[in-house]
Amino acid sequence: AINVLADHIDNAPLDTVAVFASRAGELLSTTSDTKHAPVEPCEYMPLSKFSSPANIETIFRHELTELARFKNGVDKCKHASTTSPTGTEEVVFKYYYHGAAVKEFWNETNILLKLPRDLPGILHIDRLVVEQTDEGLGVLGFTTPFIPEGDFSRNKTRVFKLKWIKQLCNVIDSLNMRFNISHRDVVPRNLLLDKATDNILLCDFHLAEKVNSVFEQGNSRRDDVKGVVLTMHEIITRDPRYWHGSLGRQEEIDLAGGGWQTWIKHPEVQLEPGLTVQDYHDEVVNWAMKRRVGALSSTF
């Protein structure tokens, strides 16, 4: 079926929702009748419902050109730009594609819109992506800047700097204690590096909730402090016990049997000259211990 669709999709009308073919793969007909649609129609959220800052721009979906698909609901795109020397700007387009994702998208978008635009360490929204509906402009996603260097789960060749741990700890402190937000998915794939500023950027807030909210309670396994500890341990040691694991199934106690005291650096991991793996370990663990006993509770 996939091969049949690939053979005919370029010639199908833009409003096609289904393709009918023979067993031999010959195209029989196409239809735009939504009763044949294999997915639920998109429920656009009215732009008027978002209390977005005045400096957040909007862009129509048809102005985006898809370049690559990273995963479901996340595409690399480009659009015309008057500020770019090339005349185009590459962005990441994140959108919801079924009704079950509406709550997560609503939370993520509103959290990112309400965080101060100058808050460091966050991959902020660039534009809201809209379409014209019968009720007015509807929002179906947003764009963020495209970071070509990749996330820390993929790009493993760069020298890992001690200051990046400090930056991530500061970001989590700000989110948890200043803005009452729990990210709940601090893992290597959600950490980017802004090459221009040499700063860590935390992205993907689709699981974020208010600290101690009804949704966040009972989910201590997704604790941000634990996420930082496990993330740094994974990046530096590449311990296979933690590869591609679910944050919700991992506990700090897993590292207690010598793990808290001694980390063994993976041979291919590069640290800053003059620093040892113990320096990185101590930076993370000392911060985590202070957070656990509430030593930083009066910071903000």
- State the CB neighbour count (10 A cutoff) for residue 134: 6
Q: Is 24 exposed, middle or buried (0-12, 13-18, 19+ CB in 10 A)?
A: exposed
- The CA distance from 171 to 224, in Å, is 11
Grouping H, G, I as helix, E, B as strand and the rest as coil, residue 149 is coil
Going by their DSSP bridges, the two strands 57-60 and 127-133 should be labelled as: parallel
pLDDT for residue 32: 81
Per-residue CA distances from 91 to 97, 108, 144, 264 (Å): 18, 18, 6, 37
- State the CB neighbour count (10 A cutoff) for residue 232: 26
- 41, two tokens: 């129609």
* H or E element at residue 170: helix 162-173
- The model's pTM is 0.80
Grouping H, G, I as helix, E, B as strand and the rest as coil, residue 155 is coil
pLDDT for residue 258: 46
pLDDT for residue 221: 57
Grouping H, G, I as helix, E, B as strand and the rest as coil, residue 218 is coil
Grouping H, G, I as helix, E, B as strand and the rest as coil, residue 222 is helix
pLDDT for residue 126: 94
Q: Which domains does the chain have, with CATH numbers?
A: 45-145 (3.30.200.20), 162-292 (1.10.510.10)
Q: Tell me the Cα Rg of the chain.
A: 22
pLDDT for residue 257: 40
Which own/partner contact pairs does 99-103 have at CB distance under 8 Å and 24+ positions apart?
99/40, 99/43, 101/73, 102/43, 102/45
pLDDT for residue 64: 97
- The CA distance from 104 to 205, in Å, is 9
- The CA distance from 185 to 153, in Å, is 14
Would you give the end-to-end CA distance of the chain in angstroms?
A: 57
Cβ proximity of 183 and 237 under 8 Å: no
Cβ proximity of 6 and 27 under 8 Å: no
pLDDT for residue 27: 77
Handedness of CA 149, 151, 155, 158 (dihedral sign): positive
Strand partners, 75: 69, 93
- The CA distance from 104 to 70, in Å, is 19
Selection from 189, 115, 197 nearest residue 164 by Cα: 197
> What does residue 234 show for φ and ψ, rounded to 5 degrees?
-65, -45
Mean pLDDT by 10 residues, the chain (300 residues): 76 80 80 71 80 82 94 93 88 84 87 93 96 90 93 90 98 95 93 94 93 56 83 89 58 49 88 96 90 59
pLDDT for residue 298: 42
Grouping H, G, I as helix, E, B as strand and the rest as coil, residue 279 is helix
Q: Packing angle between helix 277-292 and helix 162-173, nearest 10 degrees?
A: 10
